[in-house]
Amino acid sequence: MAKNQNLNSAAKAKKDKFYTQLEDVAEELRHYQDFFKGKIVLCNCDDPFESNFFQYFAIMFNALELKKLIATSYADSPIKGKEINLFPDGKTAYMVEVDALKDWNGDGREDLDDVKFAIEHGIYKTTQLEGDLHYCAGDFRSEECLELLKQADVVVTNPPFSVFREFVATLMDYRKKFLILGNKNAITYKEIFPLIMQDKFWIGFMPMSRDILFEIPEAYQKEFIAKADEGSKYRIVDGKILARASAIWFTNIEVARFREDIPLYKKYSPEEYPRYDNYDAIEVSKTAEIPCDYFGVMGVPITFLDKYDPRQFEILGMCENLDLYGLKTRTYTAKECRDRYFELFGKPGTYDLNAAGVINGKKVYQRILIRRRQ
């Protein structure tokens, strides 16, 4: 494997161990409350009890009027058994089904202590997962987990970053409703962006400009801070190390589908909105500055997506290397890329002009290509 690929896999594996804080789960979920009534919720990358997704739905079981909550842990989870250790060999992945929230422990309240009590006293169905020939116990792709997926109405979780594409493909294959956290970069994946373009799913309520702080397992904290810069990569809050990541919510739940129109106030002028050298489109560097009187193709930042309403705009593609959306008007040769690098930096190298929109020989940031609906 090339060195860069190794680094990428390491970075992805690191993010596989980011755990979502309860307040972030609650903040997004508060917008979807009515949707969950009578639903079977599956959290399929979530140690029952330790995961805040599980805890949120367990505490909110009655308020949301859920039919059932199912959570499955993963054999290799670093937080497995931290709070409840049902299987002392420590190796097992398991599944818990919550079908009611009552005052199981008789202390006069219905809360997380009751959930813990019900798991520990066999009130909730708890099943050890086995895995299969291809996947280990608790892997969302294993046969027994796919059986649970079939039962579920909606999947809500933060899946491992390293298998995000496959996770989404599985949800699409099984035609499930979902609300999942993913890395912001995932938008640009060639397996993901076309689905957003085709309105198969969209971005949740949390603004894309916001980073989320994730919990990291204790065993892993020292290693994490040794390699990361405080501030940009992590923060210490109440003595707890929290990793910062640009994550966003992806969902196909209708309530997040439509937005208020973006108010358009600026007038188009060729001086303020230059054309790309390699796309028949103008550059709009801020979503708020989309001109009100321009009906051709425009390149906008990817943060446009958290304001995007398909009734106001149409997404045509994005600026990317492979011309997957058939929108390039010019493809640069390897020699042109090398020459341009030399012109810009005075040394040999390659300036990958094909990877982006280009204005006067300079690449601009990642852009989505859109057009106003008339």
Give me the residues that bind ligand SAM (CB under 6 A), please: 16, 18-20, 45-46, 51-53, 74, 76-77, 138-140, 157-158, 160, 163
Q: Would you call 108 exposed, middle or buried from its count of C-beta atoms within 10 A (0-12, 13-18, 19+)? A: exposed
**Other Cβ atoms closer than 10 A to 235:** 14
**Spatial contact of 372 and 294, defined as CB atoms under 8 Å apart:** yes
| Shortest distance (Å) from residue 140 CB to ligand SAM | 4
Three-state SS string over 169-232 comes to HHHHHCCCEEEEEEEHHHHHCCCCHHHHHCCCCEECCCCCCCCEEEECCHHHHHHHHHHCCECC
| Shortest distance (Å) from residue 252 CB to ligand SAM | 18
Six-digit token string for 106: 């008789």
Give the integer Cα–Cα distance in Å for 360 and 106: 72
| Shortest distance (Å) from residue 245 CB to ligand SAM | 10
Q: Judged by CB, which is closer to ligand SAM: 146, or 359?
A: 146
Q: Judged by CB, which is closer to ligand SAM: 44, or 354?
A: 44
Please identify the residue of the shown chain whose CB is closest to the bound ligand SAM: 158
| Shortest distance (Å) from residue 19 CB to ligand SAM | 4
Q: Judged by CB, which is closer to ligand SAM: 46, or 283?
A: 46
Which parts of the chain are beta strand (E)? 40-43, 68-72, 93-98, 125-129, 154-157, 177-183, 202-203, 212-215, 234-237, 240-245, 247-251, 282-283, 298-301, 313-318, 358-359, 362-363, 367-372
| Shortest distance (Å) from residue 292 CB to ligand SAM | 41
| Shortest distance (Å) from residue 27 CB to ligand SAM | 14
| Shortest distance (Å) from residue 157 CB to ligand SAM | 5
**Spatial contact of 357 and 283, defined as CB atoms under 8 Å apart:** yes
Q: How far is CA 229 from CA 5, 17, 177, in A?
A: 22, 18, 37
316 phi/psi in degrees, rounded to 5: -105, -25
**Spatial contact of 186 and 12, defined as CB atoms under 8 Å apart:** no
276 phi/psi in degrees, rounded to 5: -75, 150
| Shortest distance (Å) from residue 180 CB to ligand SAM | 9
340: enclosing H helix or E strand: helix 334-345
Q: Judged by CB, which is closer to ligand SAM: 87, or 325?
A: 87
Q: Judged by CB, which is closer to ligand SAM: 83, or 352?
A: 83
| Shortest distance (Å) from residue 77 CB to ligand SAM | 4
Give the integer Cα–Cα distance in Å for 360 and 335: 17
Interhelix angle 112-120/52-59, rounded to 10 degrees, is 110
**Other Cβ atoms closer than 10 A to 153:** 16
